[in-house]
Amino acid sequence: MNRNKTVLALICLLLPALAAADPALEGRVERLERILSNQSLSDLVLQIQRVEQELQTLRGQVEVQQHELSTLKNQQREQFMDLDGRLRGAVPAGATPPSAATPSTAPPPGAAPPEPAAVAPVPASAAAAGEKDAYTVAFDLLKQRQYDQAIRAFQDLLARWPAGDYADNARYWLGETYYVKRDYPAALTEFQRVIADHPGSQKAAGALLKVGYIHHDLGDLAQARTVLLDVITLYPDSTESRLAQSRLDRIAKDAP
């Protein structure tokens, strides 16, 4: 473009002198000026068209990114709401209210002091109390949305009591913590462990439901449908069954 302008400028400077020297050249000079002018305008029009096409392409890319960002935000909000609802309705398994204070059994004035009680042996169930405390701590961290700390606490509990009374609950909530952090592979592993290791657990239905959710979130619609239908078949008339049907309806609605 710059080169054409330079050539055109030089020719414009020389044309008057050439026309004065030979009047017969005047007509040719005018035609040459028109040709050069038309070429310059054509180049300018082509450049404008290319810029417009590039702008349209960039605008389309921005719209696609905005749509993807909106979708991710909606998914994140749904995950937080789902987890928050489950946490509000969940109580650490085995938790019991504190027992009422026992009435005082102090001896009356003047009575002989009681003999020191013999130290009772530590019951075999003492280890269970440690597991319960560890579970409560991990669950509280999750409710406080301290996800990294909750993950470490649940992992420590499962390492110390892999077959304990709280193992199924701990593994399920570990999966939920990974899920809300969008670490889908880790969440899928934990939910599948709940299903495989604790098929009779109350958390098995929820774990299977989340497996279906994860396949949907990862875009594997066929596998998501299969798992969600399994939830409906295996756990009819349950909350998980209704949620599975709701997700299936959403998949059908979003399908092209």
Query: Among residues 70, 116, 119, 125, which one has the least CA distance to residue 94?
Result: 125
Burial 10-45 (b: 16+ CB within 10 A, else e): eeeeebeeebeeeeeeeeebeeeeeebeeeeeeeee
CB 133 within 8 A of CB 164: no
Q: At CB < 8 A and 24+ separation, what contacts does 46-49 make?
A: 47/1
Q: Is 147 helix (H, G, I), strand (E, B) or coil?
A: helix
Q: Whole-number mean pLDDT of the chain?
A: 74
Task: Supply the DSSP symbol for 255.
Answer: -
Q: What crossing angle do the helices spanning 221-234 and 204-217 adopt, rounded to 10°?
A: 160
Please state the pTM of the whole predicted model.
Answer: 0.58
What's at 164, amino acid-wise?
Answer: G
Q: How confident is the model at residue 20 (pLDDT cuts 50, 70, 90)?
A: low
Report which secondary-structure segment, H or E, holds 243. helix 239-254
Q: How confident is the model at residue 120 (pLDDT cuts 50, 70, 90)?
A: very low
Of the ranges 14-18, 30-34, 121-125, 162-166, which is most confident?
162-166
pLDDT in tens, 190-248: 999 999 999 999 999 999 999 999 999 999 999 999 999 999 999 999 999 999 999 99
Residue labelled with tokens 């969440």: 187
- pLDDT: which is higher, 183 or 3: 183
Mean pLDDT of 135-156: 95
Please give the span between the terminal C-alpha atoms of the chain, in angstroms, as a whole number: 47
pLDDT over 90 (residue 139):
yes
Mean pLDDT of 157-185: 95
Given this model, what pLDDT does residue 188 score?
97
Number of H helices, E strands in the chain: 9, 0
